[in-house]
Amino acid sequence: NAGVTQTPKFRILKIGQSMTLQCAQDMNHNYMYWYRQDPGMGLKLIYYSVGAGITDKGEVPNGYNVSRSTTEYFPLRLELAAPSQTSVYFCASSLKDRSNQPQHFGDGTRLSIL
Amino acid sequence: QQQVKQSPQSLIVQKGGISIINCAYENTAFDYFPWYQQFPGKGPALLIAIRPDVSEKKEGRFTISFNKSAKQFSLHIMDSQPGDSATYFCAASMYDFNKFYFGSGTKLNVKP
């Protein structure tokens, strides 16, 4: 059981570069999320998706883009990386059925922008 | 506006002691309250969760106490062990949106 898989685990970017953080889940979950976690802080929602083809903004969407063409994949795109985007990024998924279900998290991508 | 407020920010407990972490919320539409445990270098993992129709849920050494009228809930770790040293997050969500609002986290250090 892979669960939620994130790649890469670590990355260093230069200011102005772009990159895509990959996220895949094999649990057939309909909901997927991207969070960022800054040191000593909680999780802030960047974007989320309720199903293939449907995405919506979270608390801190500026500077990011997402797409969801399939149930399994939910990549996060950083355009024109800025030092303020240095963070740990977590992807999560959950199954929405008759009741709330917990989120399952990947192990994160640690991103430094210099 | 922070939807879920968590305290304390850090906690040091002796082995065998009780660790208590508190959370408070404002939105009465929340209907699911999970706690997550996060070890360094890993993503948060679900520890225990409660729905507002019960006042307490216990799983092993971990207990959630829920006070609906006060809009507060807390995590109690009995007989705390060094292996419990981690960061703990409370969260809240509502069925209609399935968005989760996380507390700011509590870093627990259990000393041997």
Q: Residues A63-100: pLDDT tens digits?
A: 999 999 999 999 999 989 999 999 999 999 988 766 66
Asked if B35 reaches chain A (Cβ–Cβ under 8 Å), the answer is: no
Of B42, B46, B3, B41, the C-alpha closest to B25 is B3
Residue-wise over A64-73: b if at least 16 C-beta within 10 A, else e?
bebbbeebbe
User: What is the DSSP pairing of strand A10-13 with strand A109-113?
Assistant: parallel
How many angstroms away from the CA of B31 is the closest CA of chain A? Answer: 8
| Closest-CA residue of chain A to B40 | A107
Best of A4, A21, A43, A46 to substitute, by most chain B Cβ atoms within 10 angstroms, is A43
Asked if B33 reaches chain A (Cβ–Cβ under 8 Å), the answer is: no
Which pLDDT belongs to residue A13?
Answer: 95
Asked if A11 reaches chain B (Cβ–Cβ under 8 Å), the answer is: no
Cβ-defined contact of A43 to B89 (cutoff 8 Å) = yes
Cβ-defined contact of A106 to B43 (cutoff 8 Å) = yes
Over residues B69-93, the pLDDT tens digits come to 999 999 999 999 999 999 999 999 8
Q: How far apart are CA B66 and CA B46, in angstroms?
A: 17
Which pLDDT belongs to residue A99?
Answer: 67
Over residues A34-68, the pLDDT tens digits come to 999 998 778 999 999 999 999 999 989 999 999 99
Ordered per-residue pLDDT tens for chain B, 112 residues: 678 999 999 999 999 999 999 999 999 989 889 999 999 989 999 999 999 899 999 999 999 999 999 999 999 999 999 999 999 999 998 876 667 889 999 999 999 9
Which pLDDT belongs to residue A101?
Answer: 76
Asked if B103 reaches chain A (Cβ–Cβ under 8 Å), the answer is: yes
Helix, strand or coil, per DSSP, at residue B65: strand
Which pLDDT belongs to residue A112?
Answer: 96
Which pLDDT belongs to residue B2?
Answer: 72
Window A:85-104, CB contacts with B under 8 Å: 90, 92, 94, 96, 99-100, 102-104
